[in-house]
């Protein structure tokens, strides 16, 4: 009887058991995680926001970039970038470990825990770590004076939405990987870096050649950055585009999870 109860409990709350397992793994690296969450924003702010920013502000004059100081302009993009990068790391490596390196997903799946629950557990754990990164980053930006409006806290929600959208797609793509070395190289060089450079991160997307602007249009980072700038300093944006940005990010998130759930179940059933 006790075994049957335990099996029903595992079957019902399987995703939470995966989250618990991921938390235990993260706890082993707590010093590195916390250090990275603090040092990354500080170093970016000092080198780019303050260092390069002082040069940009001197060049642009009183109006700055988009009517504000460069640090204020840059802050929402850095916040969204940190969320996306953190979420990607926390879904990519555990999924490679689960399917390729240690193959522990197959052991988990031999219990009443389903493929959907494993995927959801990895995803939820990734968002929890991303939330820590975003909150720490946001407070450092606030201390630096880069968040001048009372609605700036909403930029955290936007950054989490961007991280969640990108993480869901990466969860799906990683679950299909057979040759991980090529995959990691391709993701870093052909996706992450171009999106970081061409998503209006360091300058308005409209200032780029028209032929390159579509890179930003399909980038979760650009959509999140536009919303973040709207909430942090009142960046001019129409109500229609606000809706477009939210719809794009939520649709990407939903699509990625649907595909990931399907592929986890398919691969673990072999």
Q: What is the pLDDT of residue 1?
A: 42
Q: What share of the chain in percent tops pLDDT 90?
A: 50
Q: What is the pLDDT of residue 265?
A: 94
Q: What is the 3-state secondary structure (H, E, C) of 122-153?
A: HHHHHHHHHHHHHHHHHHHHHHCCCCCCCCCC
Query: Is pLDDT of 8 > 70?
Result: no
Q: b/e per residue, 120-141, with b = 16+ CB within 10 A?
A: bbbbebbbebbbebbebbbebb
If one compares 37 and 238, the residue with the highest pLDDT of the two is 238
pLDDT in tens, 89-118: 899 999 999 999 999 999 999 888 999 999
Note down the domain range covering 58: 2-268
If one compares 249 and 186, the residue with the highest pLDDT of the two is 249
pLDDT in tens, 159-188: 999 999 999 999 999 999 887 667 777 777
What domain count does the chain have? 1
| Residue 200 CB partners (closer than 8 Å, separation 6+) | 77, 208, 216, 222, 225, 226
Reported pTM: 0.90
């Amino acid at each position: 009887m006790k075994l049957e109860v335990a099996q029903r409990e595992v079957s019902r709350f399987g995703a939470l058991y995966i989250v618990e397992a991921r938390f235990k793994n993260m706890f082993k690296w707590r010093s590195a995680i916390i250090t990275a969450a603090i040092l990354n924003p500080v170093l970016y702010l000092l080198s780019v926001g303050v260092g390069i920013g002082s040069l940009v502000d001197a060049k642009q004059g009183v109006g700055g970039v988009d009517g504000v100081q460069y640090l204020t302009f840059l802050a929402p993009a850095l916040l969204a970038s940190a969320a996306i990068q953190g979420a990607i790391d926390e879904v990519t490596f555990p999924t490679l470990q689960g399917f390729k390196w240690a193959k522990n997903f197959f052991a988990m799946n031999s219990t009443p825990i389903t493929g959907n629950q494993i995927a959801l557990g990895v995803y939820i754990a990734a968002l929890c770590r991303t939330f820590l990164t975003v909150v720490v980053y946001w407070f450092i930006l606030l201390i630096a004076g880069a968040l001048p409006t009372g609605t700036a806290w909403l930029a955290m929600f936007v950054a989490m939405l961007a991280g969640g959208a990108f993480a869901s797609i990466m969860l799906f793509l990683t679950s299909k990987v057979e040759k991980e070395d090529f995959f990691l190289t391709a993701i870093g060089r052909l996706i992450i870096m171009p999106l970081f450079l061409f998503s209006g991160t360091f300058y308005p997307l409209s200032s780029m050649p028209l032929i390159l602007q579509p890179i930003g249009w399909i980038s979760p980072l650009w959509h999140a950055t536009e919303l973040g700038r709207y909430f942090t300093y009142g960046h001019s944006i129409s109500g229609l585009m606000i809706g477009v940005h939210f719809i794009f990010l939520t649709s990407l998130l939903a699509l990625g999870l649907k595909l990931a759930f399907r592929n986890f179940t398919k691969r673990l059933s072999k």
